[in-house]
Chain A
Amino acid sequence: MAIIELKNIYKKYGDQSDVIEDFNLSIEQGEFVVFLGPSGCGKSTILRMIMGLESITSGELKIKGKLQNNIPAKHRNIAMVFQNYALYPHMSVFNNIAFGLKVRKTPRKEIKEKVTKVADLLNLTPYLKRKPKNLSGGQMQRVALGRAMVRDTDIFLMDEPLSNLDAKLRTTMREELVQLHRNLSATTIFVTHDQMEAMTMGDKIVILDAGKIQQVGSPDEIYHQPENLFVAEFIGAKKMNLLELTKDERGVTYSNQVIKLPVFEADKEADILGVRAEDCRLSLTEGYPFEITFIEKLGSDQYIHGISDGEKVIVREKPEKTFEVGQQIYFTINEEKIHWFNRETGEKVRPKNG
Chain B
Amino acid sequence: MDKQANFKQLFVFVLIPLIPLVIFWIIPLIISVWLSLTNWDYISPTYEYVGLDNYLNLINNDAFLDALNNTLLFTVATVIPTIVLGFVFAVMLNQLRKTKGFLQGLMFAPWITPMVGMSIVWSWMFNPSVGPINQVLGLFGLPEPNWLSDSSTAIWAVIIVTVWKGVGWAMLFFSDALTKIPKGLFEAADVEGAGLGQRIRMILIPLVSPMTLFLFIILTLDALQAYDQISILTQGGPSGSTRTLLYLYYEMTFQQFNIGAGTAVTVLILIISAFLAFLSMILSKKFVFY
Contact = CB atoms under 8 A, between A and B. Distances in A.
B192 A86 contact: no
A103 B196 CA distance: 11
B192 A100 contact: yes
Given A89-B289, A90-B289, A73 B190 contact: yes
Interface stretch (A77-85, A192-200, A254-262, A267-275): A77-85
A65 B190 CA distance: 23
A82 B187 CA distance: 9
A78 B289 CA distance: 29
A121 B184 CA distance: 26
Given A89-B207, A103-B198, A147 B192 contact: yes
Contact of B191 (A53, A84, A88, A102): A53
Nearest to B187: A53
Contact of B184 (A79, A84, A90): A84
Interface residues of B, number: 19
B203 A74 contact: no
Contact of B192 (A89, A90, A151): A151
B206 interface: yes
Contacts of A104: 193
A103 B194 contact: yes
A103 B188 CA distance: 12
Nearest to A80: B191
A78 B191 contact: yes
A294 interface: no
Interface residues of A, number: 24
A326 B119 CA distance: 87
B187 A103 contact: no
Contacts of A147: 188, 192
A165 B209 CA distance: 31
A86 B207 CA distance: 13
B185 interface: yes
Contacts of A77: 193
Nearest to B203: A88
A349 to B, nearest CB: 44
B252 to A, nearest CB: 47
A86 B188 contact: yes
Contacts of A88: 185, 188, 202-203
Interface centre among B184, B193, B209 (most CB of A within 10 A): B193
B189 interface: yes
B289 A86 contact: no
A175 B284 CA distance: 43
Contacts of A72: 190
Contact of B182 (A53, A74, A84, A103): A84
Interface in A58-97: 72-75, 77-80, 82, 84, 86, 88-90
B194 A74 contact: yes
Contacts of A73: 187, 190-191
Interface in B58-98: none
B192 A74 contact: yes
Contact of A86 (B187, B194, B202, B206): B187
Nearest to A78: B191
Contacts of A229: none
A145 interface: no
B178 to A, nearest CB: 15
Given A90-B206, A99-B202, A51 B191 contact: yes
A75 B194 CA distance: 10
Contacts of A151: 192
A147 to B, nearest CB: 7
B198 to A, nearest CB: 5
Contacts of A80: 188, 191
B193 A74 contact: yes
Interface string A30-65: 000000000000000000000111000000000000
A72 B187 CA distance: 12
B114 interface: no
Nearest to A72: B190
B200 to A, nearest CB: 13
B193 A82 contact: no
B69 to A, nearest CB: 37
Contacts of B187: 53, 73, 82, 86
A53 B202 CA distance: 20
A84 B289 CA distance: 20
Interface in A148-172: 151
B267 to A, nearest CB: 39
A90 B7 CA distance: 43
A99 B194 CA distance: 9
B45 interface: no
A83 B189 CA distance: 15
Interface of B: 182, 184-185, 187-195, 198, 202-203, 206-207, 209, 289
Which 4 residue pairs are nearest across A and B when measured between Cβ atoms? Answer: A100-B192, A90-B289, A86-B184, A86-B188
6 contacts: A51-B191, A53-B187, A53-B190, A82-B187, A86-B185, A99-B202
Interface of A: 51-53, 72-75, 77-80, 82, 84, 86, 88-90, 99-100, 102-104, 147, 151
Given A80-B191, A89-B207, 19 more contacts: A52-B190, A53-B190, A53-B191, A72-B190, A74-B190, A74-B194, A75-B193, A79-B191, A82-B184, A86-B185, A90-B206, A99-B189, A100-B193, A102-B202, A103-B189, A103-B192, A103-B195, A104-B193, A147-B188
